[in-house]
Structure 1
């Protein structure tokens, strides 16, 4: 027994390999949020339209979310380490292109390339990590470090961006990726080994195309209508996107290896877990972006001070993510999910007293209170979703749960950001489509500047109220829908074993669908 334990104990190579893997993971999560404080500088340099600004922010998340499951299957077939190396290289090329993009259109293209590359990194990194740690207990610890790193990346992205912008131009927020990528490409072939699934599932290319196209077309219609007003072309584009998504959902029911197993949503625990993966990320991304503009363009704070004000919330989120697994063992996942939604709702509603003349204290309190809920979300969603289904479906459940995070991050800016743009268009001075664009106008009257700032803050309040109400409703739903002990229910023999669960967290086991 002792010799078997020693054989499974990870050596220095495994822990060094984990550190190497965490580099790209941190970059992928950071780049989902690093532009939140940098967008004011980007807007000043490239003067994007309102809908272009939203695309710059969320095309990355849409690319990651829409391709995450597909690349999980592709990595199974052709090799995880090979895909990880290719994806990291592409991520570096996209980062360099974004840093030196001379126009909004090219920046959007570069961000899209980064998103496609990011979709290759997450499932492949976790699968390679699982190969390094064959002992289930040590693997669980490594997965915990992986999840905490991913959560920390989201949290510290705006802070890192703000610190860089204090000394350098806006493109520096992308160039910091390059040293980490170079180090990974040098060390990965030495410390990591190739991983392939024994039974790779078939990748339905048509499903990949229709899901991605449907999302992009639907969101384009919403974005353009919010920024410019209703017209026939964006409405038809949006409807086309909805039709494609409906066709995609119908097609999945007839495939032997669907990208998304919609039958899993029959389980209430799984459904609540997936919604918990989507809605908090939507609320967080939208309010973090709008609050970054509020601090810099409404309150006229320097970017470094704005970044430091985001630090308390980032610390709370990261600490909560680390301690939640230990607390959940005592209070249960049902209680944790309820606390998650009510704390986020309380944090969001704390933004309502902010005004154009002040509100820094309310902002810091909001990020700290909501940070508790966001940390719980990162920690328990994937495990709850995977634990709600039989072991043989763990890969599909984990992939859906993690995809909901990425899609939620993009949808928050797309949908809630478009709602804020609509409020600004209706209540602002109608001189430019964005606040930064309005404030840059020559000979802008002081009254018009105040009107523009007031309209922007009103949009922020509307977003906070809508998201806060949705989280309150979801907290009540979790209270009523979920059984008294989610853990007890999922431990009754259908729960996935540690090996399946760890491979399912980011879709690394899609061959078992």
Structure 2
């Protein structure tokens, strides 16, 4: 009886610790998408320019994505729980500042601060979780729940935002973070234990700066060119960003303790899985953002109804993420990756029949079909990243996986969103650079409103086609590039904490 009791106590502590960790994980993911339905309200209150509106949405994902790897390494070396506590505190401060932002510039700065804090939370949370569960099977279950919470955060962000906006002002979408952060700060020191000094060497500051600056320069140039046309400024920004990222990659090969271990990408399964972390989030974030504008500004639906229409896709995405680890054991990662990309490609194409007068059914069907692929992408990326490296690299490997998610989230809005904005600028009325700005102009005629709405829907269709083609190509790549499993029936399958590559489990 005493042995059973001593076994249950640590087990119960581990699951309670997981519950505490999931709070900030859910928030970091949710804040990447919670503004999708709230942006029309933010635009009315703060009147940002088209460029500022995209930066309000994008800066959070760029800050998280560009610093995840750095903070994953810092947590591995100097203490993961300490970093979690600092990050949660700063995330709360940034959330409060964003809620009461008096101007677009202030809101962009507050969102950037939240992004920096979010970058401290994700890799350390995954690493602490790996330390909580000694048994490989329990650890795999916990990582699956972690991935599902991350997926659910992205999926329910617009829904939560819509529900809050029905009752409160736009700043409430940020204040909702504070109670969860407070609970984490109270219970984390009690249920979680510190893990540090698992990696040698110091973090290279130059690598942190060059990777973050390279990403920001590149995306700024692409966004600026799409919004205002090609000129010297965006071309120079893109070239400078590309040069910095190239130098960053070359520098990592020379460092004894690199910020990003590019050798992991020699494994084909790992490479396709990480790309699978990036592309689906790019497609999902862009279409979720554009669809939110479509439902509210084109079809003139109230924000609550628009939020509820996103719910079926969110449920499918989260359920798929939970079920995928069990299914992958039977069908293999190769089949799962192929299904992922083809289902997203199909789901995006279902947006093409939408018009300026009807399209609710097509939108819901699109989110449901594509949601299967999005759910698979979350589950497979998390499992592959942690299973591909030794335990002492859990923070940095998890950071690579989460980086692909966050950069994909930001890239989707920046690139596909800018592509849609470019189509609107070319085809729409020459009144304002965005649909929402156009609709707020005084004295608009019905024909101008219809012309603007039609131009926006065309932009949505072009973005959907571009995203679908990318996934179709990656699905075909997975079909041809990844080999079928050759493991005999009786052969043991490596456990999640085995530092061997996952090539044989495809």
Q: Distance in 2 between matches of 1:156 and 1:329?
A: 28
Residue 36 of structure 1 corresponds to which residue in structure 2?
Answer: 36
Residue 498 of structure 1 corresponds to which residue in structure 2?
Answer: 496
1:371 deviates by 0.3
Q: Does 1:274 align with 2:293?
A: no
Deviations 1:208-235 (A, max 9, x none): 1011001101111111111112222222
CA contact (8 A) 2:52 2:104 kept: yes
Q: Distance in 1 between matches of 2:170 and 2:477?
A: 42
Residue 7 to residue 63, structure 1, CA distance change in 2 (3 Å):
same
Cα RMSD, aligned residues only: 2.4
Secondary structure of 1:498's counterpart equals coil
Residue 367 of structure 2 corresponds to which residue in structure 1?
Answer: 367
CA contact (8 A) 1:390 1:496 kept: no
Residue 133 to residue 391, structure 1, CA distance change in 2 (3 Å):
closer
Residue 245 of structure 1 corresponds to which residue in structure 2?
Answer: 245
Trace 1:253-402 onto structure 2 (pairs within 5 A).
253-385=253-385, 387=387, 397-402=397-402
1:62 deviates by 0.9
Residue 124 to residue 266, structure 1, CA distance change in 2 (3 Å):
closer
Q: Distance in 1 between matches of 2:59 and 2:459?
A: 22
Secondary structure of 1:419's counterpart equals helix
Q: Distance in 1 between matches of 2:184 and 2:122?
A: 14
Q: Distance in 2 between matches of 1:294 and 1:48?
A: 19
CA contact (8 A) 2:122 2:402 kept: no
**What is the number of equivalent residue pairs in this alignment?**
500
Segment of structure 1 superposing worse, 110-119 or 262-271: 262-271
Residue 201 to residue 68, structure 1, CA distance change in 2 (3 Å):
farther
For normalisation by structure 1, the TM-score amounts to: 0.92
Deviations 1:431-469 (A, max 9, x none): 111110000001112211111111111110000001111
Unaligned runs of 5+ in 2: none
Secondary structure of 1:19's counterpart equals helix
Deviations 1:260-305 (A, max 9, x none): 2223333322221111111001000000000000000000000000
Residue 187 to residue 501, structure 1, CA distance change in 2 (3 Å):
farther
1:40 deviates by 1.0
Q: Does 1:137 align with 2:144?
A: no
Residue 122 of structure 1 corresponds to which residue in structure 2?
Answer: 122
Trace 1:4-23 onto structure 2 (pairs within 5 A).
7=7, 10-23=10-23
1:44 deviates by 1.2
For normalisation by structure 2, the TM-score amounts to: 0.94
Q: Distance in 1 between matches of 2:150 and 2:278?
A: 16
Residue 470 of structure 1 corresponds to which residue in structure 2?
Answer: 470
CA contact (8 A) 2:79 2:194 kept: yes
Deviations 1:370-415 (A, max 9, x none): 0000001111123235556788877654432321111111111111
Residue 372 to residue 121, structure 1, CA distance change in 2 (3 Å):
same
